[in-house]
Structure 1
């Protein structure tokens, strides 16, 4: 996930997107409240908001740093220090959890043997290009984002001209129409969403009305590719970037822990459900109360994870600087 910089609305969107995903995974099976369950299920579209944010903030930060493609490995190093420690810890926790659960007699879930190739593919984000499944399904978005880093870090800044970047964004966006195999895990399938984020940054940087033409066109392509609900969600998210400027402390908090919450919430749910079976808790009764408890536990775990793992790596990544290229 991308750093929010000083743009409060980006921070808010990250927090809301993470909460949406949690509500989808925790609350989409509320059989006592079917209407609410359907609403919560829409929270899965939070991943599209994450992609929009990455398109905006990655190009924002690189542009601010005066990035050049020859600094690509510095860019990857900063990204790696920022996101990998938390990701690697969750990989290890996932493997450990399923190993422990495999010894539980009444455990009927997935057993995950350690396969070196699968582990390495996770470490380097290329599971989509192998025969192996993800250890934890939330990891798929990290693979898509890593592919985005490669494309932007190498190609988007090859030329400074507006025409080059416009053509790049148009071609990049249209690749979503190509019927790739395993398309759900390829960045090209979500290209218009990432491109929308980039085009919004271009408008953020230069408020000319002509810079709104591409975002509007991209929203049309997104509606065609992903449906009206996603297009509307991303339209509101786009407006929020520019219109919301007030300080909202709860959303600052959720924005801070959003990456940790996204990574750890599914593990929290597995442990909670396992313990509830062992202690004979009746989760079918008072479902909204149990949903609140589950989310509260997930948020507390995410905060601890953020404080102990993610925040130190985030601080460390800020000590890796791009060397300014000298003008010849």
Structure 2
């Protein structure tokens, strides 16, 4: 069963690193008013989110197959994922609330404090913000809600029947959900179903060598193109190629892959702080937008590594102690 080697898993880490850097550069690029062409190019970094979704489809199924998961261990699986992702997420929630409260006391700050409303706070903690009237404290949190929806779907339904006909039908049916027209679908799993499904189909094919999963991968790719566009499909196909064909460990990209979750969550606050500090104490730097961009990237990486070391690594170590199979 365990035929996926470490080089292929390192491909996943490379993708995580590239995707997280793309998202950071996308958000930082809004300040590049003097370089509209570069800004427009970097804004495509938002597609890094689609890479994250493809990775989740691949790696979650890989982990469950490897551990011979069954549905009776659903709450173990959920606890394992919660211990892995919640500490950094909850810390970022508190840092966001605290930061906006502090900034509200500065006359030059154009925003305002985020009021503490228990229902909104609770909705964040259990990842149901898209199903409520409350906005996200930090817009990057929306992808975590989709990931959590994916965990529930896979943990409860995908392994109900551990046979290839059921799984193949599930993959295709899941992909087709992207065409269901419902309110607020941008923040719902079904909108990104074919991207997740491409990751599922790929790992199933690699681990079983059944051609039906290759067919599922192709069908899901067609649905990704129809629902999104050719660029999105090309990006996912390129990501799949990295996973399958990668033969090397690029240490710098593995490093970015390791800190990608912390980098994704914390970089909006780093950008916010740096923007305020630059405007207040180093206004002359605002004319050197590329230098400011590099500062933002470097500081985001440094802070992300600190949080990875202090928060994520202990969380990962603890989550590994939870078994999801007999």
Name the structure 2 match of 1:212.
214
Q: 1:28·1:40 contact (CA, 8 Å) conserved in 2?
A: no
Give runs of aligned pairs for residues 168-207 of structure 1, distance below 5 A: 168-207=170-209
Residues 154-194 of structure 1: CA deviation (Å, up to 9, x unaligned)? 00000011010111111111111011101011001111111
Residue aligned with 2:283, SS? coil
Who is 1:53 aligned against? Answer: 55
Give the equivalent residue in structure 2 for 1:106. 108
1:118-176 deviation line (CA, Å, top 9, x unaligned): 00000000000110000000000000000000000000000011010111111111111
Asked if 1 retains the 8 angstrom alpha-carbon contact of 2:172 and 2:219, the reply is no
> Where does residue 235 of structure 1 map in the other structure?
237
Distance in 1 (CA, whole Å) between partners of 2:86 and 2:196 is 21
Q: Which residue of 2 aligns with 1:117?
A: 119
1:273 corresponds to 2:275: yes
**Structure 1 SS opposite 2:215:** helix
Could you tell me how far apart the structure 1 residues matched to 2:30 and 2:43 are? 5
CA shift, 1:280, in A, is 4.4
Residues 199, 214 of structure 1: 8 Å contact kept:
yes
> Structure 1: which 5+ runs fail to align?
none
CA contact (8 A) 1:199 1:211 kept: yes
C-alpha contact 1:13 1:237 (8 A) present in aligned 2: yes
Comparing 249-258 with 33-42, which one deviates more in the overlay? 33-42
CA contact (8 A) 2:185 2:191 kept: yes
TM normalised by structure 2 equals 0.96
Q: Which residue of 2 aligns with 1:135?
A: 137
Cα distance in 1 between the residues matched to 2:109 and 2:62: 47
| 1:78 matches 2:80 | yes
Check conservation: 2:24, 2:297, Cα contact below 8 A. Answer: yes
* Preserved CA contact (<8 Å) 2:168 2:213: no
Q: Counterpart of 2:16?
A: 14
Deviates more, 1:202-211 or 1:229-238: 202-211
Distance 1:209 1:172, change over 3 A: closer
> Which structure 1 residue ranges, 4+ long, deviate > 4 Å from structure 2?
none
Q: Quick one: distance in 2 between partners of 1:79 and 1:274? A: 35
Please, which of 93, 96, 109 is the counterpart of residue 94 of structure 1? 96
Contact persistence 1:65–1:322 (CA under 8 A): yes
TM-align CA RMSD: 1.4
SS of 2:113 mapped into structure 1: coil
Q: Could you tell me which of 286, 289, 296 is aligned with 1:287?
A: 289
SS at match of 1:282: helix
Displacement of 1:282 after TM fit?
3.2
Question: How many aligned residue pairs are there?
Answer: 321
Q: Which protein is richer in helix relative to its size? A: 2
Would the aligned equivalents of 2:68 and 2:325 in 1 still touch at CA under 8 Å?
no
Distance 2:241 2:218 in 1: 12
Structure 2 unaligned regions, length at least 5: none
How far apart, in 2, do the equivalents of 1:101 and 1:268 lie?
A: 13
Residue 276 of structure 1, CA deviation: 1.4
Q: 2: CA distance between counterparts of 1:49 and 1:147?
A: 17
Q: Distance in 1 between matches of 2:71 and 2:117?
A: 35
Structure 1 residue matching 2:323: 3-state secondary structure: coil
2:265 corresponds, among 238, 263, 266, to 263
Is the contact made by 2:270 and 2:300 (CA closer than 8 Å) also made in structure 1?
yes
Please give the alpha-carbon distance, in whole angstroms, between the structure 2 residues aligned to 1:110 and 1:170.
45
